[in-house]
A and B are shown apart, each in its own frame.
Chain A
Amino acid sequence: MGCGGGGNCCKNKKKAEWKPLPQLMGRANDIPRTVKILDIKQENPSVKTFTLDISVGGRPGQFVNLWIPRVNEKPFSIAFDDGRTLQLSIAKVGPFTELLFEKKVGDKVGIRGPYGKVFMFGEEERVAVVGGGYGAAPLYFTAAHVIALGGTVEFFMGARSKDHLLFTERVEALEGANLHVATDDGSVGFEGYNATLLADLLKDGLKLDRILTVGPELMMKAVSNIALEYDIPCQLSVERYMKCGFGVCGQCVIDDSGMTTCMNGPVMDHKLARKHSEFGKYHRDSMGRKKDW
């Protein structure tokens, strides 16, 4: 006898067991918190590193949303989080970052996060990190963690030219890391792509347990091709237009799975990325329209 509204079901009702209410997700704190800029360092002609008076407990590969009150809020990968301060290395590429570049030490910006998946690696691994352009910043953070776990790092850094390289001094100073530089114009290091440099060294007998890459999608796809050829585990960072950062707005979904890259990425296994028909082909703008890479 079902519950037809006559009250019968309630007479037959088994003794109710007490059940706890469902647990809410852990974070539930996604409101930007404004913090002071402690330091600003010009890294190269287009990139500044902002050190902020907050630790978000961020790990390599994750990102935060940075808010300039009354202007906008954008996601940026974490360049370092040492448990006391947060560093973001940001290139001046548009109106938002132009305004950010006018900020002085002591000014306030909003931060929420960390968001997204992290790079996964084990202890004492030989890891190649392959960074294109600004990808070098989160990979320096990653390299530091790999080395802290007893591993070694072959750091492949690619950029258009000498002026666009980022963090070369920091990487050189990192014990356990070996820097390889490639520039498109040959102004320093290998003339050509860092993926080519990686392939050449693998051909010469370089042994790796893992490849981690951040940079333009077509570059990461080239790196992924090499990883497949040599059967080396590889993770990459899929960058899509993001708004909320916590898997609700749905702006950063990818075809064909339709999953959000803020929650299921940005870091993902390259084989998962390759299952997506849009990987290496297109992404979407703020209105959801497809844009070819």
Chain B
Amino acid sequence: MSLSITYNSVAFQNPLVLASGILGVTGNSLKNVAENGAGGVTTKSIWLEEHKGHPNPTMIGDKHFFLNAVGVPHGGIEKAYEEVATYMAWKNEMDGRAPLIGNIIANTAENFGKTAEALMKCEVLPDLLEVNISCPNVEDEFGKPFACDLDQASRVTEIVKKATQGKIPIIVKLSPNVDDIVSIAKGVEDAGADGLCCFNTFGPGMAIDIETAQPILANKVGGVSGPGLKPLVVKKVYDVYKAVKIPIIGTGSVISGRDAIELMMAGATLIGMGTAVYYRGADVFAKVAKEMEDWCVENDVKDLSEIVGLAHRM
């Protein structure tokens, strides 16, 4: 049984994609994730210039939730060239297995354009470009994420689309922390996005140490993720799928094959996983792929694209 699926004309061996921010510091790290069964991988968010993250603790979790505020540290575009080249060289050797999604971030709409333009100078381009306008962990530095405002989200999309000159498809990563996700998703689609990533982390949230009455994350607040968010993610992906024509990467709460199938039925074509690595280890991709495969065989599903958005058609 093949789990292969196509997203924006890019072929994936399975729909499970490493989400941005997890295990994405080096090209070799991404390669290691692909070797652990991921259908595709996403880089850590790339800044044009070096960017320091937050002090620790930056990630905490227990069986109920996961909270992170790493603060998007990155070595800048020159480092990105090196890591993308490392990964793409390996991918080439592997006959194109596990496409690479380059993820960019910036502090202004104009700088998003500059970063996208700079990334287009990679010797070998990533297969897709993801635009992170939804990080909830840098609000102190840059204010509310662009993804929380229809006009700003659309403007960044337009600028990045122009900067990439159609060389690779662009995916806009949305925030779930908005009143009207449908209008923002539509706005971004109208502005030229080729795909959507739904979603970045929820919240932000906070955890307090009750012995010292201190917030635990050094940034005090951080994005919430983990399996408990599944009903929220499924509902929002369901709503977005109904409203747009561009394909969706459903990211958030998936830790099992059944979770992945459920989110695909809500409307996701690809499934992003990050926190799942915490709950089930670095080989979670292979484990979830196997679970999906078993389910598909049991349920006589021959082609995964059949179940994308199935909940809307039943």
Contact = CB atoms under 8 A, between A and B. Distances in A.
A287 interface: yes
Contacts of B56: 65, 67, 72-74, 243
B52 A286 contact: yes
Given A28-B279, A30-B60, A287-B74, A71 B55 contact: yes
A253 B256 contact: no
B212 A69 contact: yes
Nearest to B300: A9
Contact of A22 (B28, B277, B280, B310): B280
Interface stretch (B29-37, B140-148, B153-161, B184-192): B29-37
A36 B31 CA distance: 42
Given A28-B61, A286-B73, A250 B301 contact: no
B122 interface: no
A21 to B, nearest CB: 6
Nearest to A75: B56
A247 B281 contact: yes
Interface stretch (B17-25, B98-106, B166-174): B17-25
Contact of B279 (A25, A69, A72, A253): A25
Nearest to B80: A288
A4 to B, nearest CB: 5
B307 A3 contact: yes
A14 B306 CA distance: 19
Contact of A287 (B60, B73, B287): B73
Contacts of B60: 30-32, 112
Nearest to B291: A22
B73 A288 contact: yes
Interface string A49-74: 00000000000000001010111111
A258 B303 CA distance: 32
Given A28-B63, A249-B70, A73 B281 contact: no
A255 interface: yes
Interface string A88-124: 0000000000000000000010101000000000000
Most chain A C-beta atoms within 10 Å of own C-beta, residue among B32, B256, B291: B32
A259 B291 CA distance: 24
B310 A3 contact: yes
Given A32-B57, A73-B218, A250-B25, A22 B287 contact: yes
Nearest to A34: B211
A112 B217 CA distance: 13
A83 interface: no
Contacts of A73: 55-57, 218
Nearest to A246: B278
A119 B169 CA distance: 48
Contacts of B203: none
A244 B58 contact: yes
A16 B298 contact: yes
A140 to B, nearest CB: 27
B255 interface: yes
Interface string B201-229: 00000010101101010100000000000
A228 B83 CA distance: 32
Nearest to B279: A24
A248 B209 contact: no
B31 A258 contact: yes
Given A29-B62, A110-B209, A9 B299 contact: yes
Contacts of A4: 306
Contacts of A5: 306, 310, 313-314
B50 interface: yes
Contacts of B58: 243-244, 249
A205 interface: no
Nearest to B73: A287
Given A5-B314, A72-B56, A22 B256 contact: yes
Contact of B59 (A14, A22, A243, A287): A243
A161 B218 CA distance: 37
A288 B79 contact: yes
Contacts of A256: 28
B211 A284 contact: no
A67 B214 CA distance: 11
A71 B52 CA distance: 16
A1 interface: yes
B28 A243 contact: no
A255 B27 CA distance: 9
Nearest to A29: B62
A21 B300 contact: no
Contact of B300 (A2, A65, A259): A2
B74 A288 contact: yes
Interface in A1-28: 1-5, 7, 9, 12-14, 16-17, 21-22, 24-25, 28
Nearest to A74: B56
17 contacts: A2-B301, A5-B313, A13-B298, A22-B287, A28-B279, A32-B60, A33-B211, A70-B214, A108-B211, A243-B58, A248-B274, A249-B23, A258-B31, A260-B23, A287-B79, A288-B73, A288-B74
